[in-house]
Structure 1
């Protein structure tokens, strides 16, 4: 008997003054359901999964947005997601998180039948270049210019209880004034 494998990929970039996550995310079950989300945030500033798609079909279901709706945390253009049986892909272009000096020309996440990968193109944090293909779970601590600190995790890999794999390209978690904001 072969057990299905669920995979999730999330390309995340960005954070503000609370923990938050911005991420193209994708998930898929081998022979089962796939899903993808470009950006989401929780905390004092919530951004619903935008755009998001789930599908178990053999052909990709796709959604795109020209730009992320206005919000006080993050700017992004050309958000794309696609999902189908065993696959999930998400990407964000021109990502900017001004409050922490985070920017990337492109952020992508991809999962295929239990395997995942994320990539950053021309990504910087406070003028410092971020690794294109960071080792899984690379964490950088950043000073938020007198507001507090943030933990930025690149190429985050999490094995879920159901056997799925979640990949987050960039995840930012910041705590300010006792509140946590997450962007993924």
Structure 2
């Protein structure tokens, strides 16, 4: 009888323990993701071959988490100085941070329409926490040719139309923020979108400078926590105490 009670108590305790351990399963199997890059060019200019360059200096939470490139030149389209990127995840909180910084940016692609276009520093940043995902862009000493200077911290999705001979040939999007279907946020500090299919257009495609993508945050779950932990421990205690008492009483009777 004694061994039977011990086995029954052990079996029930194991069942309850498995319930407590089941609480360790995270809400999502995938951890928080983050990525960043400095430059990505994908354009097809009229009378020229398609040009695809990048993403340059790419970083990812899966590694490499940081990246640096001394300079980048895409003839006739874009020039850039030092590019630095990072994408990191805090395993304790699940928070994700991604940042891309590109220095000394020039856009000769738009010279015919705007004149000299240059930005001293172009930075995109995003962060994801349990409170949500947010992002921002900073453009230091940005001068867009005939358009003039622009705010260092433009509002999300600021659009500037670029015309040539009275025809809209491109759109410049500053601090572009895209909410993706998976809950993540992509921040493109500068996005030049060529508008093809119109008379007088330069071609079609996209030029992106400094991009960061974050989230959603997904922290690791503890073995068990909150009410689930205390309920599980309470059930273990409720089983262990009566079984132990019955075994003790039987021993006392036999003595």
Structure 1 length-normalised TM? 0.76
Relative to its length, the structure with more strand (as a share) is 1
Q: Is 1:72 aligned with 2:96?
A: no
1:102-129 deviations in whole A, cap 9, x for unaligned?
2100000111112211110010111400
Give the secondary-structure state (helix, strand or coil) at the position aligned to 2:154.
coil
Specify which of 116, 124, 139 is matched with residue 109 of structure 1. 124
Q: Which runs of 4+ in 1 moved over 4 A?
A: 1-4, 145-148
Structure-to-structure mapping, 1:144-159, within 5 angstroms: 144=164, 149-159=169-179
Contact 1:148 1:176 survives alignment (8 Å): no
Q: Is 1:180 aligned with 2:186?
A: no
- In 2, the alpha carbon distance for the partners of 1:36 and 1:94 equals 18
Give the drift of 1:177.
Answer: 6.2
Larger radius of gyration: 2
1:129-158 deviations in whole A, cap 9, x for unaligned?
011111111111112467852111111111
Give the drift of 1:71.
Answer: 2.9
Unaligned runs of 5+ in 1: 5-28
- In 2, the alpha carbon distance for the partners of 1:3 and 1:137 equals 32
**Which has the bigger relative contact order, CA under 8 A and spacing at least 6?**
1
Contact 2:43 2:205 survives alignment (8 Å): yes
- In 1, the alpha carbon distance for the partners of 2:195 and 2:68 equals 31
Contact 1:144 1:150 survives alignment (8 Å): no
Equivalent position of 1:37 in the other structure = 37
- In 1, the alpha carbon distance for the partners of 2:109 and 2:168 equals 11
Unaligned runs of 5+ in 2: 1-24, 45-50, 90-95, 111-115, 209-255
Count, aligned residues = 157
- In 1, the alpha carbon distance for the partners of 2:74 and 2:158 equals 29
RMSD, aligned CA: 2.4
Contact 2:171 2:195 survives alignment (8 Å): no
Give the drift of 1:43.
Answer: 2.3
- In 2, the alpha carbon distance for the partners of 1:142 and 1:2 equals 48
